[in-house]
Every structure is written in C-alpha cells, then in structure tokens.
Structure 1
Amino acid sequence: MKNTSIIFTIILMIAVFMGGCNKNSSVPPEKQIKENTSKTLKVYTTIFPIEDFTKKIGGKYVDVKSVYPAGADAHTFEPTLKAMMDIADADLFIYNGAGLEMFIDKAEKTLANEKVEMVEASKGIELLRGHDHNHGDHEHEHGEDHTDGHAHENGDEEHGHEATEDEHDGHNHGHEDGHNHEAGHEEHGHEDHTEDKHDHGHEEGTEEYDHHDHGHHHHDQDPHVWLDPIHAIKMAENIKDALSEALPSAKDEFDKNFQNLKEELEQLDVDLRDTIDSAEHKELLVSHASYGYWQHRYGIHQISIAGLSPENEPSQKHLQSIIETTKEHGIHYIIYDQIPSTKVVKVVQKETGTKPVTLHNLEYLTEDDIKNKEDYFSIMNKNIETLKTVLGK
C-alpha cells in the first residue's frame, strides 16, 4: 500500500510538470523570442544631447549608444565600418541633421536596405542660415550693416532674418523685452513667420531663418539647434515619437518621460533668458559660431572667430576686424568650446589680452564629463554660470 502511494505521487508530479511544459510550448518559439527582445530598443545616436534625451525618454526600454567617441569633432567625424555594421543592426539611428553630420548622406544610402530606422532629430525646426566666415569684413556695431558681401533683403531691418512662430509661440515668461511667450509649449512645428524685435544687430555665423527641406541635408545652415532649449523640446518630441512608433507598448512611459524633460527644458529657457536680460552687455567673443540660436532668441551678440564649423577660419581682414571690435567693446573674455583652441584663436586671445573661459557646446562629452557623469542640464547650468561671468551682472 505504501509503495502504491509513492508511485501515485510520482505519477502526479510528472503529470503536473508535463502540463506546464505543454502550456509553455503552446506559444510558438519565434513569438517567445520576439516578446523577449521587443521590450528593449537598440538605439544609436550622434551628438550627446540626442543620446541624453533618448535615455531620459526611453528609460528602461532603450539601450542607447553614441557612435561618437569622447572628444570627437561632430562636424568631421566619420564612423568606422564596424560602427556602421552596428548601426545597421539597431532598431533606430537618431542623428541631428541640419548638415551637422557630414557622413549622413552616405549613411542613408548604405543603410537604405537595412532594418534600422533613421530619425532626424531636428526635423520640423526652422534653421538659421549660415555663412562660412572665410571672407568679408564684419562690422559688429549695433545697427550697422555687415560688409561681408551678404545682403539681407528679407525686410527685417534689425536682424537680417525673420523670426518664426516656432520661436515665439507658447513661451510667455513675463518679460517686456519684445518676446511674447505665452504659457505652454504645445506646438513646435509652426510655419507662420512673425517679426523678432531684438536690437542686437546681425548674427555672426547666421543670416536668417530658412525652411528645413528634409529631402536634402543643407550644409550652409546652422545645425546647433540643441543649445536653444525651445528647439531642444522639438528634438525631444521627435525622439519620443520615434520611440513610440518603434515600441507602441511603452508609449505611455515615453509620453510621461517626455513631459518631465519638457518641463526641465522650459525652466532652462527661463534661466537663460533671465541671465542674458540682466547682463551688463550682450557681446560674446567666441572661438566657433555655435551660439546663433542664443543670439536670435535671447539677444546676445556673438563675435565669432571661426564659422559654423571650427574648420572655417577667418581671413586676415576678418581677423583684424575681430581684434579691433573686441577692444572697442572692452570685452575681457574669449570663449572656447570644449575642444582644444586653434592657433588663430590663440592669436586673437594674445592680441586682445582676453581671458580664456569655456562654454560647452554639448556636441560631445570629454573624458572628464563622462567621469563626472554630466548630463545635458548639468552642462547647460554650468554654461549659465559662465554667461553670468562673461556678460557681467
């Protein structure tokens, strides 16, 4: 009797085990694999802000890596063959666009038949049109015309460009300086144009807003849109939409994370505006024309040594004009990016007696940035502190 009981117990255990196996085996193996792998998206990015925003929005549902190593020049970087193979196997490749990444045109052709979805983060943003700084004499007096051979005929006497509705709608922070920013940042893909009323002269490194034709990659436009928090919101929104399309089951989480990021960017916009509005002067002597969008939105006046790319160095005539203008305005600081300064920048620094300081353009992280676990906001807040120093209080 005892043996019969033992045998019955063993048979019952086997039956339960087999029943469980049969239940699991009712799901096709390929579906099980798909369910296990679809919960994490493999994403490659270019510049640091895109990498950071994707991580913040995607959370636990994304595995994000930048193709840029520490210290890479975003304007001239070319990915290795291995990097291109890794991108081809990813779910998404998110890049800035606007002519920043010179390898994108070639990459689009190479990856056309691969599974990876290419996402342009700057899509829908009105870009400032740039010039290369390799010619012409630039006058920096407010209200004076440039003599660099670029005619501004769009009817904006004070800027040489039109401002877009994307620049102004939805951002009223209570200022009386001609910026009418209404509460909320709900729409960022505007097409209508309104006039911008800054009295800060023309852009150095930018001329006017131009429509972003996404069928082509324009290399004559200012790509540094991520430094403007309002444009950064649009970039984040594009990233959120791409993640939601790739993984609809996590859409609610992506929406929630995007809203949190958007609020932080809106606060950063307020902090930048307050800092620049209260400054003693608005002139910045910069090594590289990264700050055209700050100039357009907040009214700083960048005097740039190199053009939109650090490779675009000034002519001798332009160089002399920069030195004279710097002395005329009594500028005490020269602003470097996080990249090593060029010889021509050092010449300007020596001739003007200015003190070198750093503004981080966020195109990439340095080894120290990585070690210190910096993110977009920690770097931008440091930039604000630097602006308080160089613009005075």
Structure 2
Amino acid sequence: MKKLMILLVAVLVLGACSKEENNGKLKVYTTVFPFKSMTEQIGGNHIEVESIYPNGIDIHTYEPTQKDALEIAKGDMFVYSSDELDPVAAKIAKTVKNKEVLPVAAGLEESQLLDHHHDHDHEHEHEHSESAQDPHVWLDPVMNKTFAQQIKNRLIKLDPENKNEYEANYQKLAKDIDEIDKQMKDITKNPKRDTVYISHESIGYLANRYHFKEVGVSGMNNDEPSQQEIVSMINDIRELKPPYILYEQNIPSKITDIIKEKTDTQALNFHNMSVLTEEDSQNRNVSYQSLMKKNIETLNKALNE
C-alpha cells in the first residue's frame, strides 16, 4: 500500500485530458462493471467509459499500478462506490481531486449498509485495504437506480449541451432497473427455500432487499473459511438439502468444489458483476441488465427448484 501511495504522488501534477483530445467525448473511468455499464448507457455516443479492473481479477486483492493511476488521472470523471466501501478507489480519487470524482454510494445511510460479519480465523491479513462493510452495493437494483441518477446528473453538469439525451437514456435505464426489481420480487415472493449457498459473500444486499439468506463459502472480502466452518457448512447443506451451490465468475473455487462434492449439490453460475470475464468482454451486448437477467434465473432455481 505504501508503494501505491508513492506511485500515486506523480499523478497530482497531471493536467486534464480535454474533450478535444478524446474526439470530443468525455472520458470516464469506473470501478465495477455495473457502474461502467450504466454510465455507458446514459452517456451514449458522447462518452467513452473504461473500468479500472482487468477482466477476471479478484477485486479484493487488486492494486492499481502507477500506469493505471496516471491513466485514470487523465480522465474527465471517476465513478466508484465510496471511500468507506472501496479504500483502493478512495486513494485514486484523492489523486484526481481536481477532476469530477463521483462516489455514488457516499450518500447511503449507515442503516442501508451491511456489516462485514464473517468471522474467519485469519492466519494473516492482506496488506490490501478491506472494507468493514459489505462492498457489493452494485448488485441491489434499488440502489443502482439512485446511482444511475447521480451518474446522469454529473454527466449533465459536465456536458450540459447533451442534457436531453442523458435524461432520455437515464429514463430508459431506470425502467429496465424497475423491471429487474419486479422480477426479483416475483421469484422471492413465496420461495421453496430461504437460503442460497454461494462461493463468497457477494449477494448480501440482494438477500437483504428480497428477504432470503445467503451463506458464502468465503467471506465478503474473499477471506477463506476455517476447517471448522467448512465442516459446519457441509453438515448444514446435508441437513437442508439445497440442490445447488452458486459459483462466481472471478472467485477461486477449490473449497466450493470440496463442499459441492461432499454434499452432492450441483453448480450454478452467478455473476457478481465486479469484473467481466474474457468471454463476457467478447460480447458487445453485455450489460448490467443482461447479466442480471441470467442471475435472476440462477437465483430462481436456487430458491424455487
């Protein structure tokens, strides 16, 4: 982390990359994929958006390089969750403070945030900064609607000429998000079972919003379970007999594999949307909505089949 701070000092002296230098488009950097996808949809042809994360990484242990930090500093806007939920992005935000920095979750009430409650025996801690609260706010559609509104407002501030287009694009996105919320309510209305097992604690906000329980093999910062916790989870699954366990696109699955084999459960894919896979990024139509549609099918199976 010290190394990151030293590398970022250089960024402070950099000037902005103007719209003229970017073919008249605003250059926006974001952290997780839903922020990128929503920004792209609202901004349309007037902006260029890039996530700071490479495909397939585990964001809980990611540290940007000096080159990454310098690139982000050249952009017109940086979108992330909040300083508390994303300590690494907070450090980047400090270095680009002469630009538009948008921590979309900064206005959430303390009561809306979920605490980090996974009690693992840590033999060692990452040097990496971890959030004390569940960082996965971008999976909650109700929160995402407010995040999208903030992105829209900030784009209008930066580029008032295209206000009408940003407003229209936002309304279209908001309608899609409302539909996702409705579908989530539908599949959780009278579920056959109330617990979903998943490779790491990423769906706490969905579980909280739609009244089911999540049990993660690893903690929300992807900290590994103790031997005792693994045995306890195997016993619980054998007793409750859920047919499925959810696997995420960027979370190592060795321990989840062991639990799946010992309990005779089947694997289902769930996309936590923190980052895309290489395969996802080949699909030009991939969006927050398209990934969430698949996630709803997965959760419906896990809760109702």
Give the TM-score, by structure 1 length: 0.66
Task: Tell me the CA shift for residue 388 of structure 1.
Answer: 2.3
Structure-1 residue corresponding to 2:116: 130
- SS of the residue 1:44 aligns to: strand
Alpha-carbon RMSD across the aligned residues, in angstroms, is 2.3
Contact 2:130 2:221 in 1 (8 A): no
CA contact (8 A) 1:75 1:100 kept: no
Secondary structure (helix, strand or coil) at the match of 2:60 reads: coil
Residue identity opposite 1:131 in structure 2 = H
Deviations 1:165-207 (A, max 9, x none): xxxxxxxxxxxxxxxxxxxxxxxxxxxxxxxxxxxxxxxxxxx
Alignment counterpart, residue 71 of structure 1, candidates 56, 59, 62: 56
Alignment partner for residue 350 of structure 1, among 261, 275, 280? 261
Letter in 1 for 2:149: E
- Residue aligned with 2:214, SS: strand
Counterparts of residues 118-157 of structure 1 (less than 5 Å): 118-125=101-108, 126-135=112-121
Measured in 1, the distance between the counterparts of 2:77 and 2:163 equals 16
In structure 2, distance between residues paired with 1:88 and 1:104 = 12
The number of equivalent residue pairs is 278
Counterpart of 1:372 in structure 2 is 283
Query: For the residues of structure 1 that align with 2:210 and 2:184, how far apart are their CA atoms?
Result: 8
Q: Matched residues, percent identical?
A: 36
Give the Cα separation in 2 of the matches to 1:289 and 1:116.
33
Question: Do 2:217 and 2:256's aligned partners in 1 also have CA atoms closer than 8 Å?
Answer: yes
Pair 1:90-2:81 in alignment: no
Residue 325 of structure 1 pairs with residue 236 of structure 2? yes
Could you report, residue by residue, the CA deviation over 1:43-89 in whole angstroms, capped at 9, with x for unpaired residues? 11111101100000111111111111111222222222222111111
Q: Which moved more, 1:336-345 or 1:268-277?
A: 336-345
Structure 2 unaligned spans of 5+: 1-17, 123-128
- Quote the offset at 1:364 in angstroms: 0.8
Aligned pair 1:236/2:148, yes or no? yes
* Equivalent residues of 2:83, 2:89 under 8 A apart: no
Q: Which of 176, 196, 202 is equivalent to 1:284?
A: 196
Bigger Rg, structure 1 or 2 = 1
Deviation string 1:364-383 (CA, Å, 9 cap, x unpaired) is 11111112232111111111
- CA distance in 2 between partners of 1:64 and 1:130 (Å): 31
Moved more, 88-97 or 98-107: 98-107
2:249 to 324, 338, 357: 338
Report the Cα distance in structure 2 between the residues aligned to 1:94 and 1:362, rounded to whole angstroms: 15
Counterpart of 1:280, as a letter, is K
1:336 deviates by 1.0
Rounded to whole Å, the distance in 1 between the matches of 2:168 and 2:176 is 13
Q: CA deviation at 1:271?
A: 0.5
2:15 corresponds to: none
Matched, 1:382 2:261: no
Counterpart secondary structure, 1:370: helix
1:300 positional shift = 1.4
> 1: distance between equivalents of 2:262 and 2:83?
34
Residues 92, 116 of structure 1: 8 Å contact kept: yes
SS in 1 for 2:114: strand
Q: Which amino acid aligns with 1:55?
A: E
Of 250-259 and 35-44, more deviation after overlay is shown by: 35-44
> Distance in 2 between the 1:322 and 1:98 partners?
33
Tell me the CA shift for residue 344 of structure 1.
2.1
Q: Which amino acid aligns with 1:134?
A: H
Gaps of 5+ in 1: 1-32, 137-216
SS at the partner of 1:336? strand
User: Could you tell me how far 1:363 is from its partner in structure 2?
Assistant: 0.6
Q: Tell me, yes or no, if structure 1 residue 274 matches structure 2 residue 186.
A: yes
Inter-CA distance 229–85: structure 2 relative to 1 (3 Å threshold): same
Q: Is the 8 A contact 2:201 2:219 kept in 1?
A: yes
Structure 1 residue matching 2:101: 3-state secondary structure: strand
Mapped pair 1:105 → 2:90: yes
User: What is the DSSP-based 3-state SS (H/G/I as helix, E as strand, rest coil) of the residue aligned with 1:308?
Assistant: coil
Residue deviations 1:84-106 (CA, integer Å, cap 9, x gap):
11111111011123645442233
Deviation of the 1:34 alpha carbon? 7.4
* Alignment of structure 1 residues 239-254 onto 2, 5 Å: 239-254=151-166
Structure with greater helix share of residues: 2
* Correspondences of 1:108-257 after superposition (within 5 Å): 108-112=93-97, 115-125=98-108, 126-135=112-121, 219-257=131-169
Q: Which moved more, 1:288-297 or 1:89-98?
A: 89-98
User: Structure 1's 380 and 37: CA in aligned 2 closer, same or farther, altered over 3 A?
Assistant: closer
Structure 2 residue aligned with 1:195 = none
Q: Distance in 2 between matches of 1:35 and 1:106?
A: 28
Q: Return the TM-score normalized by structure 2.
A: 0.84
